[in-house]
Amino acid sequence: MSEVLVLVDHADGRVRPPALELLTLARRLGEPSAVVLGASDGVDGIAGQLRRYGAAKVYAADGAAFADHPVVPQVDALTRIAETAGAAAVLVTSSPQGREVAARVALRLGSGLITDAVDVRVGEAGPVAVQSVFAASFEITSRICHGIPVIAVKPNAATAEPVCADAVAGPVERVAVGPPDPATVATVVSRTVRPATDRPELSEAAIVVAGGRGVGGADGFGVIEELADALGAAVGASRAAVDAGWYPHAHQIGQTGRTVSPQLYLASGISGAIQHLAGMRTSKTVVAVNKDPQAPIFDVADFGVVGDLLEVLPRLTEETRRR
Ligand code: FAD
């Protein structure tokens, strides 16, 4: 069976959820192989978990280059592994860095790139990818006709499913990567550590609780955060709330903000403008809380509550905590 490479997102010695989703999807296309790059904190603990999610092989490359230079060392290593393995496809997470790596790898391989895929499957002539466009009004199914297809898949596009109960021990294939070409490489000059939070990363979160202008002010986001914490969710915001200075721009969902595809998206005090829908319409289940029964968000919601969010959300939080 052909190898399908999955570039593994990891941090602090832990595999991030999108990598396990990619391995689950890769199993549909062939035999998954995990590629772990720059895991200075050790690949062995990570490798067992990757095998549990179906990785038949685990490749690893490490060294100072991965810490000092973003992107290019990953591109060098992933391209080399893809060529040597004669891979059937390369899957990466559709994050800003993932897309950059994917684009450069596709160029080096002389193939093509599909970004922001929400599904992959085997078509008649090889792997095909599905993209959701125009605020999820249309789906495009496409395939790369030349070379090794490189596909960047959105986090939460699939549910990660293990193939066995426990981590699986086994060898790791070490790949040597030389220093990157100084003419093409960017160098890390400083790092900013974001304040620690227990909430999940917005684009990877399984549940997002989002607030809009209906929240009424920065203080109103307190009820959003309380519900998010009770559910183990990330917090999102509409542009109206962000423009008003009630919540940071990093949390804006929509055309000019972030795109999320969680299992559950809870929109509170958000009218449902097309530009907002562009960032969340591929969510699996949408719940809307709005005091206006005519609000357009109810057109895309699976469940709706007509009411004042300042009354509804605290009750939801209380009930969630009680269970
Ligand atoms: P509103 O449209 O004002 O809706 C507030 C809602 O809250 C109403 O439906 C109201 O009934 C309800 N409400 C009020 N009080 C309560 C209460 N107590 N309880 C329950 N419900 C209540 N928007 C984005 O979100 N993301 C983007 O990325 C984005 N990009 C844009 C790009 C462009 C080029 C343009 C032109 C616009 C963009 N917008 C974006 C703005 C977008 O058009 C809307 O203006 C914005 O989404 C509205 O935000 P909102 O739903 O929070 O506010």
Instruction: Provide DSSP, 291-316.
Output: S-TT-THHHH-SEEEES-HHHHHHHH
Within 10 A of 306 (CB to CB), how many other CB atoms are there? Answer: 14
Q: How confident is the model at residue 11 (pLDDT cuts 50, 70, 90)?
A: confident
Q: Ligand 1: which of 251, 256, 280, 289 to mutate, judged by most atoms within 8 Å of the beta carbon?
A: 256
- Token digits of residue 320: 């969630």
Residues 289 and 266 sit within 8 Å (Cβ to Cβ): yes
Q: With bands split at pLDDT 50, 70 and 90, how would you rate the model's confidence at 323?
A: confident
Distance 263 CA to ligand 1 centre (A): 22
List, in sequence order, every beta strand (DSSP E) within 75-189. 89-93, 113-123, 126-133, 138-142, 150-153, 173-174
Counting runs of H as helices and runs of E as strands, what totals does the chain give? 10, 16
Helix (H) or strand (E) holding 14: strand 14-15
Q: pLDDT for 278-302, tens place per residue?
A: 899 889 999 999 999 999 999 999 9
CB 251 less than 6 A from any atom of ligand 1: no
Closest residue (by CA) to atom 11 of ligand 1?
292
Residue minimizing CA distance to atom 13 of ligand 1? 214
Backbone angles phi, psi at 232, to 5 degrees: 70, 40
pTM: 0.82
312 alpha carbon – ligand 1 mean position (Å): 19
The pair of three-digit structure tokens given for residue 129, joined into one six-digit string:
């990818």
ipTM over 0.90: yes
- Closest residue by Cα to atom 26, ligand 1, is 254
| CB of 180 shorter than 6 A to ligand 1 | no
Give Cα 245 to chain centroid, integer Å.
26
Q: What is the pLDDT of residue 41?
A: 65
The amino acid sitting at 12 is D
Gap from CA of 296 to ligand 1 centroid (Å): 10
Tokens of 9: 């997102």
**Which atom belonging to ligand 1 lies closest to the Cα atom of 213?**
52
pLDDT band, residue 168 (cuts 50/70/90): confident
* Cβ 275 under 6 angstroms from ligand 1: yes
Rounded to an integer, the average pLDDT of 150-163 is 92
pLDDT 10s digits, 108-137: 999 999 999 999 999 998 899 999 887 777
Residue 109 to residue 264: CA distance in whole angstroms: 37
pLDDT-based confidence at 69, cuts 50/70/90? confident
CA of 213 to the centre of ligand 1 (A): 6
